[in-house]
Amino acid sequence: MITCFDIGGTAIKSASASSPTDIQSLGKVPTPLHDFEAFAAAIGRIATQATGNDHSLIAISLAGVIDADSGRITCANIPCIDGRPLVADLSEFLKRPVLIANDADCFALAEAVTGAGRGHRIVFGAIFGSGVGGGIVIDGKILVGAGGFAGEWGHGPISATSAGSPPVPIPRFPCGCGQTGCIDAICSARGLEKLHRYLHGVDRSSTEIIDAWTIGDANAARTVDCHVDILSDALALVVNVVGAAVVPVGGGLSNSLPLIERIDLAVRSRILRKTDQPLVVRGECRIEPGLIGAGLLGLAEVQP
């Protein structure tokens, strides 16, 4: 048995994993943000309660990227671990082997093994939430890539400068990564709100925009039309490059099934492989996919 964790800026969620079909929640505790020893100790206490002092493996999903060469993590929302060689530091502190993967990668792994990607060799898991992210799983294994950035399709100056039918000019918005014109900056939930404000001069939450669109509001429909146009261009290119057979979607915007269906139709009309089967689908792991992915990652290590 291993102990797995899904760690964000608010909470450390935990579970014990004995097999891919037996991952049991252990609850959650607040995330210490500014004290590394407190952060590591919180993980250690949970692992000890779950497995005793047997030094069994710990597998972690978190919103950060580990450079495969230096081992250092970039994690803006947990300052006490940002810039650390986190695997080495945690392993030393906890006296246990530690595996760490990006939360989008863990989502993709969960979907590939137990969710909507079951039975497919190449799965691209896409996140449409507070950010736009993704992960690539090939033959049941996460593709890490140089610098740990494989699957990060949300960043890069590629967003369209016109969108919708009829087309309307769209600016390239600055992104938190430091670039301008990223898909993350305009197609995330916050990006959708930014787009609506630009088009109509009105502040509405992403949930309000989607809800208004589903009941026929013309302004919301215009925003969603532009949003889907921009997002689908980029996602179709990802599908062509990666060769994904299915794209499970997670994140807050995936809660709108009509939106996912609209994106699916748009992406399938743009890719080279023509298919009548749904390609972009809502993820099936609706509860704790990060924990499931971390558990699967750890189990693959100890039960090859």
pTM for the full predicted model? 0.93
pLDDT at 304: 63
Q: Which of 29-38, 106-115, 280-289 has the lowest mean pLDDT?
A: 280-289
- Measuring CA to CA, which residue among 207, 184, 204, 183 is closest to residue 259? 207
From the number of C-beta atoms within 10 Å of its C-beta (0-12, 13-18, 19+), residue 277 rates as exposed
Q: How far apart are CA 173 and CA 192, in angstroms?
A: 12
- Measuring CA to CA, which residue among 203, 189, 273 is closest to residue 231? 189
pLDDT at 21: 83
Q: How far apart are CA 150 and CA 170, in angstroms?
A: 28
Q: In 3-state terms, the chain is what percent helix, strand and coil (to 5)?
A: 40, 25, 35
Task: Note the CATH architecture for domain 116-282.
Answer: 2-Layer Sandwich (3.30)
Q: For residues 44 and 94, is the Cβ–Cβ distance under 8 A?
A: yes
Q: Would you say how long the chain is, in residues?
A: 304
Find where tokens 């810039």 sit.
Answer: 83
pLDDT tens digits along 53-84: 777 899 999 988 888 888 899 988 899 999 99
Judged against a pLDDT cut of 90, whether residue 22 lies above it is answered with: no
State the DSSP code for 173: -
State the DSSP code for 243: T
Q: For residues 186 and 173, is the Cβ–Cβ distance under 8 A?
A: yes
pLDDT at 148: 76
pLDDT tens digits along 143-177: 988 877 889 999 999 999 999 999 999 999 999 88
Query: In Å, how far are 109, 244, 268 from 120, measured between CA atoms?
Result: 12, 8, 17
Q: What is 2-102+287-302's CATH number, 3.40.50.300, 3.30.420.40, 1.10.540.10, 3.40.50.150?
A: 3.30.420.40
* Contacts for 48 with CB less than 8 Å, ≥ 6 apart: none
Each domain of the chain, given as residue ranges in start order, spans 2-102+287-302, 116-282
Which two tokens mark 76? 């803006």
Q: 73 — phi, psi (to 5°)?
A: -100, 145
